[in-house]
Amino acid sequence: MHMRRVKGILSQSNGMNLYRGCTHGCIYCDARSTCYQMDHPFEDVEVKENAVELLEDALCRKRHRCMIGTGSMSDPYIPLEQQLCHMRSCLELIQRYGFGVTFQTKSPDFLRDIDLMEQINHVTKCVVQMTITTYDDVLCRILEPCVAPTSARLAALHACRKRGIPTVVWLTPLLPYINDTPENLRSILRACRDAGVWGILSFGMGLTLREGNREYYYRKLNQHFPGLKEQYQRVYGNAYELPSPHADDLYRIFREDCRRYGICTDQQQIFAYLHAFEDKQAGVQLSLF
């Protein structure tokens, strides 16, 4: 971990990242890609030490309330958050100034702050976005070794349902020849139904690889799945998009099961929902990011 003071925290679309880098260890992580020009080792997490004060200044200056988003590039609930509490401090500000919030995570550690999330959701909207790729906890420990297993993430989604906090699941990536099976997909979709998930985002039944994350991914394939790297290279070469050989069947299952379960899968509709600020006391939608 190292500290850095930054000049700003909110993007033009009202997104923020409190940390840069990650210690979850997911073998497929796109954030390792060299295109993001990270100037420090990925696991040496950069902490934006003045993020909370910058956020308060930004919220004070806004003429209209909106949704604040976080977690697109770095999980706000990496283990460091348990001691630093930057995300909790940000939630306190968001709640105090009457803004909404949505965040992406793989960690059930957000339950520490569910009291604040419930308060925000009572007045406007708090949406928890959880990444789930692999139903089996044993396989999950290989693919995402330093983060809570899927069963713990699903339990956290159930906790949100009990509190009336809406949830969206990111079903990505499905790794060719590893977790791209109908059994894995159907198990995840049933679990999402049981947890009352509002929407599921899928960006292709496969994964993407580019410079930086490709090399790391292949090292992990050699470690855990001997011979699979060579199969990838034969089938995909150096392609950016690596669709599962079962992509068509998986898409059919995805569409049919989600339709039957009443789970939204329309990307445009889901993102519109995530971006839309709602004043529940007034009963109207006011603005977008």
Q: Check whether 197 has a pLDDT greater than 60.
A: yes
pLDDT at 16 over 70: yes
pLDDT at 205 over 80: yes
Q: Percent of the chain beyond pLDDT 70?
A: 98
Q: 23-55, pLDDT tens digit by residue?
A: 999 999 999 999 999 999 999 999 999 999 999
Specify the pLDDT at position 66: 97
Q: Please, which pLDDT band fits residue 10 given cuts at 50, 70 and 90? A: very high
Residue 255's pLDDT is: 97
Whole-angstrom CA distances from 38 to 24, 25, 49, 209 are: 17, 16, 17, 17
The Cα-based distances of 233 to 35, 142, 213, 221, 241 in angstroms read 22, 21, 15, 12, 13
Q: Quick: pLDDT tens for 96-126.
A: 999 999 999 999 999 999 999 999 999 999 9
Contact, 73 vs 252, CB < 8 A? no
Burial class from Cβ neighbours inside 10 Å (0-12, 13-18, 19+) for residue 144 reads buried
pLDDT at 284: 54
CB 18 within 8 A of CB 74: yes
* Cα 166 from Cα 141, distance rounded (Å): 27
- Closest CA relative to residue 49, chosen from 78, 11, 20: 20
Q: Could you tell me the domains of the chain?
A: 2-287 (3.20.20.70)
Say if residue 285's pLDDT is above 90.
no
pLDDT digits (tens, 9 = 90+) for 184-196: 999 999 999 999 9
Burial class (CB in 10 A: 0-12, 13-18, 19+), 4: exposed
pLDDT digits (tens, 9 = 90+) for 48-71: 999 999 999 999 999 999 999 999
Q: Which tokens in the block code for residue 37?
A: 């020009």
User: What is the C-alpha to C-alpha distance for residues 106 and 121, in angstroms, rounded to an integer?
Assistant: 20
The chain-wide mean pLDDT, for the chain, equals: 96
Condensed to tens digits (0 to 9), the pLDDT of residues 218-264 reads: 999 999 999 999 999 999 999 999 999 999 999 999 999 999 999 99
Sole residue written with tokens 């909106």: 66
- Output the pLDDT for position 289: 46
Quick check: 183 pLDDT over 50? yes
Residue written as tokens 């702050």? 113
Res 188: pLDDT? 98
pLDDT at residue number 281: 81
CA 135 – CA 188 distance, rounded (Å): 6
